[in-house]
Amino acid sequence: MRDSNVPLASPFLSERPSHTLAAARQIVLPTFEDQHDRVFKVAPRDLLEYLCISLTGMSSPLHVWNTSTESFSLRGVDDTESGRVLISSLDEITSASLIKRFLTIGTLMRRLDILTSRLRNNVGKAHQHLHAFGHSLSSVLAYFRATAAQLSSSIPTGEPDIHTLTALWTACGDVEEQLQDLAMLCRRSEDTKPDLYTDLPLVPAELLSVIYEHLERHIENSSLSTTTAIHAYMLTTVSADYFERICYAVGYYSRGTLANQSGRAEKVGTGLFDDEEEDEFVEGTADESFSRDEQFPRFFSADFSQSVLRARRSLKLLQAARPDHLILNGSWTRRKLRWFWSNDEVEAAWLDIEGDHPSTSPHSKRSNDDTSSAALGTHYKAGIQAFALFDLEPGTHLGSQAEASLSSTKDPFQPFLDHFPEQLPSLTPTLPMLRDLVLQPLSSHISAVSSELQAVFLSPDAGYLDFRRHLTLLRSYLLLTSPSFKSRLRAALFTDSPEADIEGMGARSMAVRARVLRSSKKHGVEPSSDTWVIGLAPALTEGNSWPPGGSDLSFYLRRVIIDALKADYMPPDKHDEEDREKDSLLEEAEWRLGFAIRDLPVASRARWLNPRSMEALDFLYMNYHPPHALDVLIPPDVLSKYHRIFAFNLRLMRVESIVKALFRMTLRRDTKQPTFETLASSRRLFLYFRFIAHTFVNALSSYVYDTAIGGAFHDFLTSLSPSSADEPHPHPASHETKPQTTSDVFALAERHSMLLDDILTACLLRGNQKSVGDVLRSALEVILKFGLLMADLHNGKVQEYEAAEPLVELFGTFRRRMFALRRGLKAMVDKTAALGTAASAEDAYFRVISGSLPQVAARLHDLLTRIEVPETWQDLPPSF
């Protein structure tokens, strides 16, 4: 008789015991038997034991590690066979799905273990970031092993069944997801074969960029706190050595501070770049000016990366300029540059920047318990703080504080995870904002280094490094604004006498030319009227060869510099104290200034081989040798711009001498025969052409020296000088009234280069002004041909009737050039003014780049107003 208290069996197989369901499935769905297919039937109790072993990446009685594929395979199954695992009461698909998660965890754990072992074998300073990455990876793997062991030990006591197995499967879901993401970061995903592995970046910046991007993606996607903490921990660990090296490179750490922490001392300015590499300043945009092979992490902004490069170069310049500077030799304690994540650390760093809180130590407090724990290790270095445990009273180590201290020495990732916030602090809600706060101390130091170096070059007590004094020398001699130097150079290179001898020459150039002629007669060379060219000194064209050379030319040009320096800086009416002050400048400038011969290729510049051409003096230029630390502000490319202006001024001086010589041809009392004695119309045209040429050359010369050079240079020097009440009145052509500040010496160098660009623009010497500049140079060349023609007529090489027609043609050409020059100048002024008006007042960057456009437009308009073309020229016949 059936007991009424015993329930009846359910009619549904799914509600029957698992073995009943398995038996029914076996009868209804029999499995296909294959001799090459091995089926392993495992009970949940045994499978659970095997899978707990596989979770740690170890081989189990069921699965064994395959070194060739770096994955787990069934034990005893060779390459020609296939194997399956069937869990009692489950079908094949369910069994495979249940086992896969455990095998994935074990496979990834084993692969990452192998990667860690390989990273440990990498030796050398170049792979320090890989060592740090391997250390952080091993710490995270230790955490995963502890987590797997904890999950395995949390299985309820009793006979394990399928429900116990599925509970463990569910608990391992987060571990699988975190390991898959970590394997993707390490380029060791489960579906990647070993022969397709990609090595980790050998450049520290690239590895840091990869970790940072993974971390940023998890923060934006609000991933699990543990997943985010893993990447934050790896970023903190790997970046520690990189931050230390970059801080040493820019002098953020003094030579004494970090030497006590790391046990080694490094010279400031080293540790990140090649010390033997010589930095060179190249003009251009920011990213072109400082392009280097050194790579920075992508979380460094472009401006910050360039600031680091500039700070490193600034530090080297500061070492060369002021070896005793406090930044180089000071001993100060700075907050260690590192990543921090807790709210307390972020708040402390924020207050430290605001100046309301002292700088925090590398291990800031995170909670009240951690505060007391950190206090215990106050007298111990960072690596041995755990020994503070022995300073406690007996029995205190049983407390949670001591346990936390001991656990931190065994597993560095676990304390980091315990104090990692669920989300970023409110002061830095995004990772870029936290990055800016972390890098803020270094950014402030970089600004301080740049400001100190700039102050050294602009200080009134800078001595031979006074940038303003060097600018004054460059303006006076390379730009020919010194009256004494210009007059002596004119006497050495040019003449306004229409004759080849020294009769009638000005008393100012008599001494120089007498020495030249005495030297020429000593060597048996007499001046020849056949070789002399109007406007050039007779001694330059001796010997029927061009360009001139020899020691005599070098000697007399050297005497020009020395005599001009004495006249400028050693006037006889000065007091002795001022003379001694200027004497150091005189002695230094004597060897910094000098003339040199430019190597001009004969094939491409054949015109400079002809003394009758406008390019005849292009072989000569004036060089300047700045001090070593100051060459960053006066680099070779800027000096080349000075040379272009110097060459233009030489051409202008030659044309001035030619115009004066044309006047002397008709003003000398001993002239035997007047010009164009028999041709009255040609004489009138000659006199009118001479007057127009003289007016044009005088207007152009006064504009170049007073406005183009004088006004621009005065603005620049004023911006470098401190404002004072007794400051002299501004230059008449000046448009700038307030001093300007720059971020560092490299920005100052860019401003110096822009100053020369403005002068070149005002003189129509830039490449984008080729059309108008060619017209101006063509007008000067017409005056040169006019002078050559009249000199040949004066010397009897041509007759009056032979010179009449060329004179008409030259005047017509000059008239057309003047009309074209005015049209081009007017169009250029309108275009430049329009560009300056288009500059937005709110766009600071565009305002800096185009800040000189209004001044350039004003200077070009000044030139336009100086060059007057009579309206009657439109109706004037070519023959006048």
Is position 504 within any domain?
yes
Indicate the SS3 state at residue 63. Answer: strand
Q: What is the pLDDT of residues 645-679, one digit of tens each?
A: 999 999 999 999 999 988 888 765 555 567 788 88
- Min mean pLDDT across 244-253, 520-529, 592-601, 818-827 is at 520-529
The domain of 523 spans 464-601
Q: What angle do CA 615, 691, 658 make, to 5 degrees?
A: 30
Last residue of a domain, one of 200, 226, 260: 200
Environment class of 612 (CB within 10 Å of its CB; exposed 0-12, middle 13-18, buried 19+): middle
Over range 187-209, report the average pLDDT: 87
Interatomic CA distance for residues 186 and 166, integer angstroms? 29
What percent of the chain shows pLDDT beyond 70? 66
Beta carbons of 238 and 119 less than 8 angstroms apart: no
* Cβ atoms < 10 Å from Cβ of 688: 13
Is position 238 within any domain?
no
Q: What is the DSSP letter of 15?
A: G
| Whether pTM exceeds 0.85 | no
Q: What angle do CA 175, 149, 72 make, to 5 degrees?
A: 65
Interatomic CA distance for residues 263 and 258, integer angstroms? 8
**Does the pLDDT value for residue 283 go beyond 50?**
no
288 or 627, which is more confident?
Answer: 627
Q: What is the pLDDT of residues 611-656, one digit of tens each?
A: 888 888 888 888 888 888 888 889 999 999 999 999 999 999 999 9
Q: What is the pLDDT of residues 317-362, one digit of tens each?
A: 887 777 777 777 655 556 788 899 988 888 888 887 654 333 333 3
Beta carbons of 731 and 853 less than 8 angstroms apart: no
Is position 275 within any domain?
no
* Cβ atoms < 10 Å from Cβ of 801: 11
Q: How many domains is the chain partitioned into structurally?
A: 2
Largest CA distance in the chain: 164
Is position 522 within any domain?
yes
Is position 810 within any domain?
no
Last residue of a domain, one of 586, 601, 616: 601
Is position 313 within any domain?
no
Interatomic CA distance for residues 640 and 646, integer angstroms? 10
Residue 752 identity: H
Is position 811 within any domain?
no
The model's confidence at residue 82, banded by pLDDT at 50, 70 and 90, is low
Last residue of a domain, one of 165, 200, 235: 200
Interatomic CA distance for residues 246 and 312, integer angstroms? 9
Q: Which helix (H) or strand (E) holds 566?
A: helix 551-569
C-alpha 671, offset from chain centre: 66
Is position 443 within any domain?
no
Long-range contacts formed by 794-797: CB under 8 A, 24+ apart:
794/498, 794/665, 794/675, 795/529
Average model confidence (pLDDT) for the chain? 74
Interatomic CA distance for residues 251 and 266, integer angstroms? 10
Q: What is the pLDDT of residues 804-821, one digit of tens each?
A: 899 999 999 998 999 999
Interatomic CA distance for residues 719 and 725, integer angstroms? 15
Q: What is the pLDDT of residues 745-769, one digit of tens each?
A: 888 888 899 999 989 988 999 888 8
